[in-house]
Chains A and B, each alone.
Chain A
């Protein structure tokens, strides 16, 4: 009798019909987008704020560098105004602040004589921009005083981009590496999140069956391993459903939000767009961009997708069977801590190895070894694959993963079978070992 489809159906439907699951599914993207919109709106609000800064320049040479911008207006006070008067004037006009440059004979001593007065403490950004302006002017003045032609300096500035090419003649670029990193990182991280969220969900549902005491009723109809596999598969399907809804809903909401806030959002992006435009005009960078696009298409996309499916499913099943075993071993969620550590450790290790060593050297010893070790291989291998991993390595790693998966399911099923009928005490590792031998 194969009850697996029936169990999967029930597990899936109960998860999907669960109120908090529905709320999480539909509210999370809303919250994310709302958060994004609020942050965007607020930062824009901040930028929009117009301020007037009064400048009292006793030297008289720096005045020409304070040019009004969109949000900042500079009021130049005549150099014979006294500091006290200037302060009062600024306060009376409710200006943002007063920049005071003390009179001095030579340019170097100006450095120690610049002060800024204001009620609100100014942001680092404002201060930086003021300091930069003055520094630039003083540097230029010094250069001129020393008889250096500034135009010559400007003309001698160089910017080099090393063109990269493989021995087979494919053109690559730095963007290529970033792109690979982004793909690998996203895949590995997605798996990590998926395991933690839905592994926990499986564990909770096992515990629920224990605490509601239905387990013995079910177990008298189906084999424990069927129930366990049904749970894992049903919950995963619910998870995939949730993820899919998140992606679709998230992108739709993003579009809607940017349509509503449309104008402001494009305004927000305008500096970057300017840069892009400039970049496009610059032949080197345009070339780089093209190469990036090209390297996206050069990614082993088919390999990436297939490997993603295999390693994602393999890794997820491996861990979720362990989660199910932990759920079976304990009576309530608070008792799970002790058993969670050994599950989370390799997972976290995998992510760290992925982030630190794969970036440094995707084919180095450490990354290669960890992409074979079964508990870290799904995450690390997914991160490595965009950089091009020989097929034999992928197949071998997956084979090891499958063998380990079969072993962990067997192991988890043993614990599950005994654990689901054990009530009352929290088992020790020694007892778990005994259960396996029953």
Chain B
């Protein structure tokens, strides 16, 4: 069993509204799993089902091979998108309370909190009230509370919102470290660059249905169009361009470069390899730039959503 979390044909209705329609996902152990989708697609509903906040109408959810049950709450750390803390409660008291709700003993919680407060250098916040902290500072506390009980499964919904780039990086590194230490992470966000950076697997939910799912590299391979971005230097721009256009399907390219005379996106013919293209080009002009166009997560997201 290599999947930590399996959702099997999960459906959920709210009145007449179908929030999830027969959605299945498998989250491999030790991976960072990107749960993507436009607003209102059903991501939050799925996450809430995993957290046992709502129950699915049909389908089942397995954690580590076991049907989800109340005791599993201790194995899950959840940072919701709509998050906050008791404003008038002191940081330390509050963190202890939330940790105890997750099943830690008071002493254990204290020890671990000390470790985290030292690590993020916020030890002197212990006796401050949340309302005295900035939004980013409160988010740090929230992050600590989410991971404190060392859950097997971490669910982050837009974890970087409210952080400045420095702190966002800090949190990103912490997430990666937690992954390296064995935690599995479900990561829901609209920021495609962080998906690109962090996720090993993704699933895309659109209008309550899962429309895409798999290893990010596999999906990219699947979505690539065998197109190469090319920059050439030549004195006879027109002749070279026409020669290429005769042989290949060509699109204009825009990329920043120093004085390239010809910039093109060239689609490989079905029978050719990239080497064939490259040798053809070298025979015509001086090649300065030759890169395979790999679709970004953002491209894939937009394309998939539009096609559905």
B83-99 vs A: 1/0 string, CB under 8 Å?
A: 11111110000000110
Cβ contact within 8 Å between A217 and B80:
yes
Q: Which of B14, B53, B100, B142 contacts A220 (CB 8 A)?
A: B53
Q: Which of A214, A222, A423, A434 contacts B15 (CB 8 A)?
A: A434
Residue A212 at the chain B interface, CB threshold 8 Å: yes
Cβ contact within 8 Å between A421 and B53:
yes
Residue A133 at the chain B interface, CB threshold 8 Å: no
Q: Which of A18, A217, A221, A438 contacts B14 (CB 8 A)?
A: A438
Q: Which of A1, A213, A223 contacts B103 (CB 8 A)?
A: A1
| Closest residue on chain A to residue B70 by CB atoms | A1
CA distance A421 to B51 in the complex (A): 14
CA distance A208 to B53 in the complex (A): 20
Residue B78 at the chain A interface, CB threshold 8 Å: yes
CA distance A423 to B145 in the complex (A): 24
Chain B neighbourhood of A209, CB < 8 A? 86
Residue A14 at the chain B interface, CB threshold 8 Å: yes
Q: Which of B82, B83, B86, B100 contacts A423 (CB 8 A)?
A: B82
Q: Which of A213, A216, A218, A423 contacts B101 (CB 8 A)?
A: A218
CA distance A214 to B131 in the complex (A): 13
A210-247 vs B: 1/0 string, CB under 8 Å?
A: 00111011111111000000000000000000000000
Looking at the assembled complex, report how far the CB atom of A226 sits from the nearest CB atom of chain B, in whole angstroms: 10
| Closest residue on chain B to residue A437 by CB atoms | B15
Per the CB 8 Å criterion, the residue count for chain A at the interface is 24
Looking at the assembled complex, report how far the CB atom of B137 sits from the nearest CB atom of chain A, in whole angstroms: 15
Chain A neighbourhood of B84, CB < 8 A? 212-214, 217
Residue B230 at the chain A interface, CB threshold 8 Å: no
> 22 interchain pairs (CB within 8 A)?
A1-B71, A1-B73, A1-B103, A3-B100, A3-B101, A7-B101, A213-B82, A213-B83, A214-B84, A214-B86, A216-B78, A217-B84, A217-B98, A217-B145, A219-B53, A220-B51, A220-B73, A220-B78, A221-B102, A222-B101, A421-B48, A421-B53
CA distance A7 to B48 in the complex (A): 22
Q: Which of A1, A213, A217, A421 has the most CB of B within 10 A?
A: A217
Residue A10 at the chain B interface, CB threshold 8 Å: yes
Residue A6 at the chain B interface, CB threshold 8 Å: yes
CA distance A434 to B13 in the complex (A): 12
Residue B195 at the chain A interface, CB threshold 8 Å: no
Cβ contact within 8 Å between A220 and B86:
no
CA distance A220 to B157 in the complex (A): 13
Q: Which of A6, A223, A438 contacts B97 (CB 8 A)?
A: A6
Residue B76 at the chain A interface, CB threshold 8 Å: yes
| Closest residue on chain A to residue B85 by CB atoms | A214
Chain A neighbourhood of B89, CB < 8 A? 14
Looking at the assembled complex, report how far the CB atom of A372 sits from the nearest CB atom of chain B, in whole angstroms: 37
CA distance A401 to B83 in the complex (A): 38
A-B pair number, CB within 8 angstroms: 65
Instruction: Give the 7 A-B CB pairs with smallest separation, nearest first.
Output: A213-B84, A221-B101, A216-B80, A212-B84, A220-B78, A220-B51, A214-B84
Q: Which of A18, A216, A223 contacts B82 (CB 8 A)?
A: A216
| Closest residue on chain A to residue B131 by CB atoms | A212
B43-65 vs A: 1/0 string, CB under 8 Å?
A: 00000100111000000000000
Q: Provided the pairs A1-B70, A1-B71, A1-B103 are in contact, do residues A220 and B85 lie with their beta carbons within 8 angstroms?
A: no
Q: A213-B84, A220-B52, A223-B70 are in contact. List 4 more A-B contacts (CB 8 A).
A: A212-B84, A217-B145, A219-B53, A423-B82
CA distance A168 to B14 in the complex (A): 66
Chain B neighbourhood of A1, CB < 8 A? 70-71, 73-74, 103
| Closest residue on chain A to residue B77 by CB atoms | A220
Q: Which of B76, B86, B97 contacts A212 (CB 8 A)?
A: B86
Cβ contact within 8 Å between A212 and B14:
no
CA distance A434 to B17 in the complex (A): 12
Cβ contact within 8 Å between A221 and B98:
yes
Cβ contact within 8 Å between B80 and A221:
no
Chain B neighbourhood of A214, CB < 8 A? 83-86
Looking at the assembled complex, report how far the CB atom of A22 sits from the nearest CB atom of chain B, in whole angstroms: 13
Q: Which of B14, B52, B83, B145 contacts A216 (CB 8 A)?
A: B83
Chain B neighbourhood of A208, CB < 8 A? 86-87
| Closest residue on chain B to residue A212 by CB atoms | B84
B181-214 vs A: 1/0 string, CB under 8 Å?
A: 0000000000000000000000000000000000
Looking at the assembled complex, report how far the CB atom of A170 sits from the nearest CB atom of chain B, in whole angstroms: 57
Chain A neighbourhood of B103, CB < 8 A? 1
Q: Which residues of A from 1 to 37 have beta carbons under 8 Å from B?
A: 1, 3, 6-7, 10, 14, 18
Looking at the assembled complex, report how far the CB atom of B63 sits from the nearest CB atom of chain A, in whole angstroms: 14
CA distance A434 to B142 in the complex (A): 33
A60-88 vs B: 1/0 string, CB under 8 Å?
A: 00000000000000000000000000000
Looking at the assembled complex, report how far the CB atom of B15 sits from the nearest CB atom of chain A, in whole angstroms: 6
| Closest residue on chain A to residue B146 by CB atoms | A217
